[in-house]
Amino acid sequence: MFDQFLIRKDSLENVTENGRVTGFKFAVRIADYRGCFLSLHNGYYLTVDGVEYPNELQKFQINGKEPRTYEELKTCCWEHWDYDDEGFVYVQKEGGLESGVHHIGIQQSILAQYGYMPWDEEWVLHPPVPGSGQGAGKTETVSFFDIALSEGGNE
């Protein structure tokens, strides 16, 4: 669902910390017809220009709070990502992205379910790795975007 609209197309920017470019970020929506408890958000399979950026290099920013790792989000059992709201995926990459258009592949992982399923215990012990096919919520496949880096808009 909403696969083509998962990323806001004018949202790709480099991230600067203490005067140095440390990565990039972009805005996403929940690709479902409902929001979710934040604890269910299990990250993104993400490639940019053919380079894969695993969950360990990502953070997720939502609800006006600082960007958080997915390990931190796991404990946010009572905080909700509302359906109407946009979140930001932050990705660590020394120097950020170069000017111009980038080819982004993305699949969202939300462990939303409609009740008990045979794989439940397995998912507690070994949560699905985004992009592996399981736990993809309502994004069936990796979606691809060609998005230009927005420049000059950073703090």
Partner 1 sequence: MAIKRGVSLYSYQQSQFFKKLDWKAQIREVREGLGTDGIEIINEQLIRHYPFPTEEFLYDWRSYMARYNMQAVTMDVYLDVHQFRDHVMTHREAAEHLKNDIRLAAKMGFQNIRTLVLVPIDVIEAVLPTAEKYNVKIGKEIHAPWPIKPGNFVQPKKGMAAGINFRAVDEIVELRERTGSRYVGLVPDFGIFQHSPSDVAIAYVKRHAKKPEAVDWILENAPAYGHDELIDAVDEKFPDHGIPINNIDRMALHKPCCAPEDLIDIIPYIVSIHGKFYNMTEIPGKPGCYEDKCIDYETPVRYLRQHGFDGYINSEFEGQRDQQDMGEEGLVDEVEQVRRHHEMLKRLLG
Q: How far is the CB of 99 from partner 1 (least distance, A)?
A: 26
Question: Shortest approach of partner 1 to residue 31 CB, angstroms?
Answer: 9
Rounded to an integer, what distance in angstroms lies between the CA atom of residue 24 and that of residue 48?
A: 11
Determine if 4 is a binding residue for partner 1 (CB under 8 A). yes
- The Cα–Cα gap between 102 and 66 comes to 26
**For partner 1, what does the binding mask look like between residues 40 and 79, x meaning CB under 8 A?**
x---------------------------------xx-xx-
Residues 76, 35: contact at Cβ < 8 Å?
no
Closest CA to 66 of 14, 17, 137: 17
Query: CA-to-CA distance for 95 and 23, rounded, in angstroms?
Result: 6
Residues in contact with partner 1, shown as a per-residue x/- string from 76 to 115 under the rule CB under 8 A: -xx-x-xxx--------------------------xxxxx
Q: What span, in angstroms and rounded, lies between the C-alpha atoms of 141 and 132?
A: 10
Query: 25, 8, 6: which is closest to 154 by C-alpha?
Result: 25
Interface residue with partner 1, options 19, 117, 152, 155 (CB under 8 A) = 117
**Residue numbers at the binding site for partner 1 (CB under 8 A):** 1-5, 29, 33-37, 39-40, 74-75, 77-78, 80, 82-84, 111-118, 120-121, 123-124, 127, 138, 140-141
